[in-house]
Chain A
Amino acid sequence: MQTPEIPRREYNPLYHYVTLTIVLAAFTFKLEWQLFILPALIAVTLFFPERKNTYRGFLKFVLPLILIGFIINGIFFTGNVAFSVGPVEFKAQGLLFASAVAARLTLIVISMSFYFSRVKSETIAEYLASRGADRRFIYIYLLSVAMVHLMRDKLQKIYTAQSARGLDTTKNVLTRAKYLLPMLVPLSYSYIAESLDRGIALRAANFSDKKSSKTPSVVPLVEIEVNRKGLLFGRLFLLAGVALSIFRFTR
């Protein structure tokens, strides 16, 4: 019997080290430092084809959140008035607090969006497994991602069937809440039964995280080729970030 060929994929750890460092900076650096990093981060991401995915989520979820944050905190904070729009006064302290939140969120979201649109989730999972992460957690993550898509399709089919039987979304809240059970019971029942069968298969395959010579090793989905230079520069980058964070708190 021939062993199936495992696809090879190169992984550059520099990406996740840079992302980690930026997330660290978002929590520990001063606002002035963050405002220095932010344009640099935006400029770098604009050079990559993944910029579309990176900024789509930001514009959809984070930008409205930041704008509402500025309005709420600007109006309701107590302190000196920075400016007024008609009868509405915006306080300097509130705007400063909103700026800190905005800078933190923007740094985190842009760096993470960029990383996850550049690297596939299976590649990250296999890389973590190759670095000694618990295989059980990797399996839970990959399976839950796969299940979400299948369950959404099934839910849509159940909803269509229930609608044909008279499910009416214009009725009152209590009646609508009752509709939830006829949708969730068949969905849960079939997936619990399927999960139990999967469990039997895993046990039969001797799935375990214990590294024993007697236990057959799990075949990876993707063979990861680690970029050594990226690993070195990434670690240096993170070290510099940690050093700067310590410097910021000791001064």
Chain B
Amino acid sequence: MAETSSWFEKEVNATTIPLIAFGAALNIVVGQAVQLIKLPLYLDSIGTILIACMIGPLAGMLTGAFANLTLGLFFNYAFIFFIPVTLVIGAFSGLVAKMGAFKRWYTAVPAGLVQGILSAVASAPIAAFMFGGVTMGGTDFLVLYFRAIGKSIIQSAFLQGLAADPVDKAVSYLIVYFLLTRIPRSILIRLPGYANA
């Protein structure tokens, strides 16, 4: 019990709390940046991945959960139901960061691809049973296509996730890698996960 508490305290303390809030806000704002430059991607987990790398998996999970909570309360309630997916993203990216995935671009990209598959697995049941397979995202036509070729709702939602998420997450991981290389060392050295970058 004491060990769990110390792990939590290590990642969620007075120093890291404002960073977690920043990560949650970054997730939302990157969505706006993507719209501004008209990119056909979501990239809505960059803040979660960045914080998971800079602090740790628990902080990453909290970042994702708060980002989706804020998005849900202010923009679209659908985001609240996808909080479990953000927990998976935060936990996985924190763990691979500890293994050194963000030290080189060619290790970040495959980690992002695996992350995409995990995200598709986590989001398929939510999209299928909560929303009947339709989430009003840009990739809904894929659900329509998979349904048309005879796949079930859950299969269609999973295949739609599999078609979109790995690319999206690989690009997100690559952007986080470049962000970490461009942020001055004097700043990075003050972060708990400095060794991961």
A binding-site residues for B, Cβ under 8 Å: 57, 61-62, 64-65, 68-69, 72-73, 75-76, 97-98, 101, 104-105, 108-109, 112-113, 116, 121, 136-137, 139-141, 143-145, 147-148, 151-152, 155, 159, 167, 169, 173, 176-177, 179-181, 183-185, 187-189, 191-196, 198-200, 202-203, 207-208
Chain A residue nearest to B80 (CB atoms) is A112
Known: A61-B136, A148-B28. Contact between A179 and B37, CB under 8 A?
Answer: yes
Near A by CB (< 8 A), chain B positions 170-197 give 171, 175, 178-179, 182-184, 187, 190-191
Residues of B close to A101: CB separation below 8 A: 130-132
Q: Given A101-B130, A136-B12, verify A180-B187 contact (CB < 8 Å).
A: no
Would A169 and B134 count as touching, CB distance under 8 A?
Answer: no
Q: B residues bordering A, Cβ < 8 Å?
A: 12, 14-22, 24-26, 28-30, 32-34, 36-41, 43, 46, 50, 62, 66-67, 69-70, 73-74, 76-78, 130-136, 140, 143-144, 147-148, 153, 171, 175, 178-179, 182-184, 187, 190-191
17 A-B residue pairs with CB within 8 Å: A62-B77, A69-B133, A73-B132, A73-B153, A101-B131, A136-B12, A139-B17, A140-B21, A144-B21, A145-B70, A169-B38, A176-B39, A180-B39, A184-B46, A189-B187, A191-B25, A195-B22
Q: Apart from A69-B131, A179-B37, A187-B29, what 20 extra A-B contacts exist at CB < 8 Å?
A: A57-B77, A65-B131, A69-B132, A72-B144, A76-B147, A108-B77, A109-B77, A136-B17, A141-B21, A141-B69, A152-B32, A155-B32, A167-B37, A173-B39, A180-B175, A189-B182, A195-B19, A195-B21, A199-B16, A199-B18
Cα distance A199–B52 when bound, in Å? Answer: 17
Q: Are A112 and B29 in contact (CB under 8 A)?
A: no
CB contacts (< 8 Å) of A98 on chain B: these are 132
Nearest opposing residue in chain B for A104, CB measure: B130
Q: Please tell me if the beta carbons of A181 and B179 are within 8 angstroms of each other in the complex.
A: yes
A185 partner residues in chain B, CB cutoff 8 A: 179, 182-183
Q: Tell me which residues across on chain B come within 8 A of A72, comparing CB atoms.
A: 132-134, 143-144, 147
Q: When A180-B33, A199-B14 are in contact, do A192 and B183 touch as well, CB less than 8 Å?
A: yes
Also in contact, A144 and B24, with CB within 8 A (given A65-B131, A113-B77): yes
A61, B21: Cα distance in complex, Å: 26
Q: Complex formed: what's the CA distance from A199 to B133 in Å?
A: 42
Q: How far is the CA of A250 from the CA of B65 in the complex (A)?
A: 34
Contact status A143-B147, CB under 8 Å: no
A97 to chain B, nearest CB (A): 6
A183 touches B33 (CB 8 A): yes
Closest CB of chain A to B157's CB: distance in Å? Answer: 11
Contacting pair A144 B70 (CB below 8 A): yes
Smallest CB separation, B145 vs chain A (Å): 10
B36 interface neighbour in A104, A105, A159, Cβ under 8 Å: A159
A116 to B66, CA, bound (A): 16
| A196 pairs with B38, CB closer than 8 A | no
Please, which residues of chain A bring their CB within 8 A of the CB of B190?
A: 196
When the two chains form the complex, which single residue of B20, B38, B183 contacts A176, counting CB atoms closer than 8 Å? B38
Which residues of B have CB within 8 Å of A136? Answer: 12, 17
By a CB distance below 8 angstroms, the chain A residues around B187 are: 189, 192-193, 196
On whether the beta carbons of A140 and B62 are closer than 8 Å, the reply is: yes
Q: Which of A104, A113, A180, A208 contacts B34 (CB 8 A)?
A: A180
Alpha-carbon distance between A144 and B17 when the two chains are bound, in angstroms: 10
* Cβ–Cβ < 8 Å partners of B28 in chain A: 148
Give the complex CA separation of A21 and B101 in angstroms.
44
B21 touches A116 (CB 8 A): no
A155 to B28: give the CA distance in the assembly, Å.
12
Docked-complex contact B33 and A184, CB < 8 angstroms? yes
In-complex Cβ contact of A191 among B16, B26, B66, B153 (8 A):
B26
CB B98 to nearest CB in A, in angstroms, measures 20
